[in-house]
């Protein structure tokens, strides 16, 4: 049996459906913007913040899948551990399990010290990804992909249990400088200088969007480098890449390092609005991977641009449903916004089984 990859454009029925859905969404948002402009601005800002977070996590899924052809089920646990790294470095007075003073505490202004802590935390997250790849994934090169996927599921269980023990009794604050603060667009200011009404936009929304833009630009330029071309070649055919002298093991390592760092970044934003209000790592932090999974599948598991588009679509769908269907919460249930992404994913797969930007595969006997 021979596996072929098709690079044909979107089929006519799927193109028509996607175009129709896009037009309907634009008309809906325009009408709502005319009726309630401030509510619409706040809803879009919140949706962009959520979608950007989903896109970052989805990009981590995609990079590991493109490099190794394996869905990393441990992404959620890695996101939580990344958030814990930030907490240990940015908040704790001493290095964990020691009496040694944390050298990152009190360095420069608050923003600088916290940013430096995040950089160091992401470095350690990348090291963790490298260790997992070398110890667990590298020996599985050439083995059935199903077996490797099951191994990542085992890693998820092990890492999640370890991370949960750190937050089960007490949440781990990350010390994020902007907290849950933000700014207001529009509204009216009275004589006392107090603004009422308007659209509240949290700084975490802005930070998530900027971080997503930086992440996708970095991947865009990386894929045009020598190693990026090697990764794309490996994603297309590992055996052919090895025959051409490409170091597949190095590609695996880079994919896991990048995927783990992106998971950690997603874990940081998973503690922030609109996902959480605590600003601390908690048991629910690990669920960011499962919440972002519809974005991965909808956009296409092997597509970088699909991760961005899928993340934004899922974010818009979830926040819009939460805002404009809230009066039906008694019928739909309080958790209905979390179901919406999966409904969108299912509809999308019925129209485009490989995702919006996914690469169709044709199997010929």
Report d(CA 335, CA 300) in Å as an integer. 26
Q: Are 62 and 302 in contact (CB under 8 A)?
A: yes
Please say whether the dihedral angle defined by the alpha carbons of residues 230, 59, 264 and 73, taken in this order, is positive or negative: negative
Phi-psi region of 184 (alpha: psi -120 to 50; beta: other; left: phi over 0): beta
**Helix, coil or strand: residue 172:** strand
- Nearest alpha-carbon partner for 285 in 204, 118, 164, 165: 164
What is the total count of domains within the chain? 1
Query: How confident is residue 233, by pLDDT bands cut at 50, 70 and 90?
Result: confident
Looking at residue 299, what is its pLDDT? 93
Q: How confident is the model at residue 8 (pLDDT cuts 50, 70, 90)?
A: very low
Task: At 12, list the tokens.
Answer: 């006519």
CA 104: distance to chain centroid?
A: 27
pLDDT of res. 359? 77
Beta carbons of 197 and 38 less than 8 angstroms apart? yes
Q: Are strands 199-202 and 182-185 parallel, antiparallel or unpaired?
A: antiparallel
Q: Return the CATH number at 331.
A: 1.10.3470
Q: Residue 193 pLDDT more than 70? A: no
**pLDDT confidence band for 242 (50 / 70 / 90):** confident
Is residue 7's pLDDT more than 60?
A: no
* pLDDT at res. 158: 92
Helix 75-90 and helix 37-68: axis angle, to 10°?
A: 110
pLDDT computed for residue 187 by the predictor: 67
Q: What is the mean pLDDT of the chain?
A: 87
Which one is predicted more confidently, 6 or 146? 146
The whole domain housing 53 covers 2-189+198-364
pLDDT digits (tens, 9 = 90+) for 69-85: 888 999 999 999 999 99
For 283-340, write each residue's pLDDT tens digit.
899 999 999 999 999 999 989 999 999 999 999 999 999 999 988 888 888 888 999 9
Q: What percent of the chain has pLDDT over 70?
A: 92
pLDDT of residue 97: 72
Q: For residue 338, which of 317, 309, 353, 357 has the smallest C-alpha distance?
A: 317
Mean of pLDDT values over 230-242: 78
Task: Read off the pLDDT of residues 116-167 as tens digits, 9 standing for 90 and up.
Answer: 999 999 999 999 999 999 999 888 877 788 888 899 999 999 999 888 888 8
Nearest CA among 227, 269, 262, 267 for reference residue 248: 227
């Amino acid at each position: 049996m021979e596996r072929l990859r098709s690079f044909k454009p979107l089929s006519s029925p799927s193109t028509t459906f996607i175009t129709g859905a896009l037009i309907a969404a634009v008309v809906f948002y325009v009408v709502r913007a005319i009726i309630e402009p401030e509510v619409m601005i706040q809803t879009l800002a919140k949706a962009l913040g959520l979608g950007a977070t989903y896109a970052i996590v989805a990009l981590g899924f995609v990079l590991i899948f493109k490099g190794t052809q394996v869905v990393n089920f441990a992404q959620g646990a890695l996101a939580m551990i990344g958030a814990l790294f930030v907490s240990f470095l940015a908040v704790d007075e001493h290095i964990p399990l020691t009496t040694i003073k944390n050298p990152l505490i009190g360095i420069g202004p608050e923003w600088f010290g916290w940013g430096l802590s995040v950089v160091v935390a992401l470095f350690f997250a990348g090291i963790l990804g490298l260790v997992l790849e070398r110890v667990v994934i590298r020996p599985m090169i050439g083995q059935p992909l199903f077996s490797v996927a099951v191994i990542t599921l085992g890693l998820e269980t092990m890492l999640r249990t370890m991370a949960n023990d750190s937050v089960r009794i007490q949440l781990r604050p990350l010390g994020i400088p902007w907290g849950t603060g933000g700014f207001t667009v529009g509204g009216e200011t009275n004589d006392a200088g107090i603004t009422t009404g308007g659209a509240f936009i949290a700084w975490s929304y802005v930070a998530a969007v900027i971080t997503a833009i930086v992440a996708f630009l970095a991947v865009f330029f990386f894929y045009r480098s020598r190693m990026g071309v090697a990764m794309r070649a490996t994603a297309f055919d590992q055996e052919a890449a090895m025959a051409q002298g490409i170091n597949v093991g190095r590609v695996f390592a880079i994919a896991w390092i990048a995927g783990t760092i992106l998971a950690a970044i997603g874990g940081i934003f998973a503690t922030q609005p609109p996902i959480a209000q605590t600003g601390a790592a908690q048991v629910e932090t690990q669920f960011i991977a499962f919440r972002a999974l519809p974005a991965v599948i909808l956009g296409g598991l092997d597509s970088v641009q699909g991760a961005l588009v899928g993340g934004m679509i899922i974010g818009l769908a979830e926040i819009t449903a939460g805002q404009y269907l809230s009066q039906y919460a008694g019928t739909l249930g309080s958790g209905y916004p979390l179901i919406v992404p999966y409904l969108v994913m299912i509809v999308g797969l019925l129209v485009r089984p490989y995702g919006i930007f996914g690469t169709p595969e044709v199997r010929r006997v």
